[in-house]
Structure 1
């Protein structure tokens, strides 16, 4: 997805594709297991069995990209920034929210409309159904948008140390909150306390990146695979020590910070990669990134609907092979539906965006 505020970098879209793929594999695995698919034994499958880590990549990548824009533009016009963010996420998010309230028609209460801004908390209509459950993180992302222009300004004024101070505060909040919530894992997973530091780590990575960019570009050919391996190893560690099903593990106090630092390594290594992938693969991954928002919000609906309708078909007679083949088919269908959704719901509103920054030395009459 091309921004009006900074030069397009296809590597960012490719990372969006990766994040959406990881979350897809996570939810497909859960659905397939419910229909008799064989389990993925061993912690090294953590990138799938703990695939919620894809959300951590999304949050970290958002912080990285927006801070890069802030560094480029120097000044962000708050009203224009929010206008662009609303045009970017609200049309499809509202469609999914209305779908959720339709599914829960018989349980609907008027105050449920207020959950539009807090889908990550309480008994949000979107959380009552697998079909719309992935929307939990969108209101949290929008919260980050609300405060980002201020944090970016203070960071440009004070440097990376400002973000470090915020990260220290967030760690203190995590420590204080642990003993106050008996389901702390879910708290760290889905709230400001557990996720804001990931956005901040992405911002910090963007502020430090220019200092090491030449070195990263010289060595990205081996750094990118190494960073991806470390991300896989990190999820293997989580799967072994404190998987998501553990509702109150001390490991989760620092998990989101550790997770985002590893993903930040993947981000800076991948965006530094100057060696082109095969043309067809570049185009495919960039398209996957372009439609990743639709893919993310709709993939659970596709997976669950097909699973409920067809279960796990015996395509070959081998359960493992059947699961892999079915995963490929479901992924392809989700890709097609996401493309349809992007072109129908997202793209018309995206054409209404405008630049929200003021590059250094360029006056703006409305400021």
Structure 2
């Protein structure tokens, strides 16, 4: 996504596209095949079985991008920043929200309008159906936007260690909340308390990236496969030992898992952005397309999955290892095309209304 506040980095779009694809694959796998149950024996497919980890990558990227803008441009004008974020996020989110309250019209109450800002808490209308369920992350994201300029100012004043101290404070509060909350795993998964450190780690990764660019670190080819291997192993361990799909809520690993997850994805971001390895032109184009429409793809792919399953059902040639990639290709292509339609129709008209928010 191009911005007037920073030079366009196509590989950031690639990473956004990757995050959306992981979440799409996760939803396809469980909606078509595994019914949201843990699958510890398939730990080696953790990036699909527990593909909610794509949300962690999205959050790390948000912290990374805005911190990079701050580092390169200095002070952020709060009003213009929030105006831009509103124009970027809310047109499509409002559309999805009104779909959700229309579906649940018989249970709608006036106070439900407040869920526009708290779609990740309580009985949010968007969480009432599969086709709008992904919207829970938007409130977490927007709350981070609201505090980011102040965090950036604090980093400029207090130095890089400010963010690591915040992460430590959050970890202690997470530990306390773990012993108080009745469903701590879901709480740590879906609230700002559980996720804020992922944005902070993204911010720290931006500071490391700036230094890496100056010192020409991480350019060797092997850093990228090593970082991807670390993510694969980490998510695989989560899938095997403390799956989010498992019924057990008092799983102590979830106190630190979002932090570890963010560190793993930050490593991938740094390795990919710094590597000198070049992608083939066609793959580069596909990833840029996926990144451009990643927000629409993330919010709307569940509708395509749902309609496909209701009208046709999963394509089946008799073997899971053939059926899975076949459905990913066909339904994924359709959902990506729908996302592109949405991007140009519901998002693009508002993107031109944004303005520069840095000096």
1:309 maps to what in 2?
Answer: 311
TM-score by length of 1: 0.93
Residue in 2 that maps onto 1:193: 193
Match of 1:67 in 2: 67
Q: Name the structure 1 match of 2:358.
A: 357
Mapped contact 2:42–2:49 kept (Cα < 8 A): no
Residue aligning to 1:46 = 46
Greater mean deviation of Cα atoms: 217-226 or 174-183 = 217-226
Residue 72 (structure 1) shift: 0.9
Give 1:261 deviation, angstroms: 0.4
State yes or no: 1:294 paired with 2:299: no
Aligned counterparts, 1:20-59, within 5 A: 20-33=20-33, 41-59=41-59
Describe the SS at the equivalent of 2:97.
helix
Number of aligned residues: 354
Structure 1 partner of 2:252: 250
Runs of 4+ in 1 over 4 A off after TM superposition: 214-218
Residue 219 (structure 1) shift: 3.1
State the partner residue of 2:329. Answer: 328
Residue in structure 2 matched with residue 364 of structure 1 by the alignment? none
CA distance in 2, matches of 1:208, 1:275: 20
Instruction: Give the superposition deviation at 1:248.
Output: 1.8
In the alignment, the residues of structure 2 paired with residue 5 and residue 146 of structure 1 have an alpha-carbon distance, to the nearest angstrom, of 18
Q: Distance in 2 between matches of 1:356 and 1:14?
A: 24
Look up the match of 1:154.
154
Structure 1 residue 224, shift from structure 2 partner? 1.1
Greater Cα offset, 303-312 or 236-245: 303-312
Match of 1:363 in 2: none
User: What is the alpha-carbon distance in structure 1 between the residues aligned to residue 46 and residue 215 of structure 2?
Assistant: 31
SS of residue in 1 equivalent to 2:180: coil
Distance in 2 separating the partners of 1:28 and 1:317: 17
- Confirm or deny: 8 A CA contact 1:26 1:48 kept in the other structure: yes
What root-mean-square deviation, in Å, do the aligned CA atoms of Structure 1 and Structure 2 show? 1.5
How big is the shift at 1:221? Answer: 1.6
Distance 2:292 2:195 in 1: 24
Q: Conserved in 2, the CA contact under 8 Å of 1:217 and 1:274? A: no
Asked whether the equivalents of residues 127 and 133 of structure 1 are also in contact (C-alpha less than 8 Å), the reply is yes
1:23–1:51 Cα contact (<8 Å) kept = yes
Deviation, 1:273, is 2.1
Determine which of 275, 281, 284 is the counterpart of 2:283. 281
Deviation at 1:217, TM superposition (A): 4.6
CA distance in 1: counterparts of 2:179 and 2:216, whole angstroms: 41
Structure 1 residues 34 and 251 mapped into 2: Cα distance closer, same or farther (>3 Å)? closer
Partner of 1:132: 132
Q: 1:250 to 1:66 in 2, by over 3 A?
A: same
User: How much has 1:275 moved relative to structure 2?
Assistant: 2.8
CA 218–229 in structure 1, closer or farther in 2 if over 3 Å, else same = closer
**Could you tell me whether the CA contact under 8 Å between 1:230 and 1:262 is conserved in 2?**
yes
**2: CA distance between counterparts of 1:127 and 1:290?**
25
Secondary structure of residue in 2 paired with 1:274: coil
Which residue matches 1:269? 271
C-alpha offsets along residues 25-83 of structure 1, whole Å, 9 cap, x if unaligned? 11000111158xxx794211111111100000000110011000000111100000001
CA distance in 2, matches of 1:179, 1:186: 13
Report what 1:80 is aligned to. Answer: 80
For 2:98 and 2:257, the matched residues in 1 are separated by 33
The CA distance in 2 between the partners of 1:259 and 1:34, in whole Å, is 23
Q: TM-score, normalised by structure 2?
A: 0.95
Unaligned 5+ segments in structure 2 are none
Do the aligned partners of 1:242 and 1:249 also contact (CA within 8 Å) in 2? yes
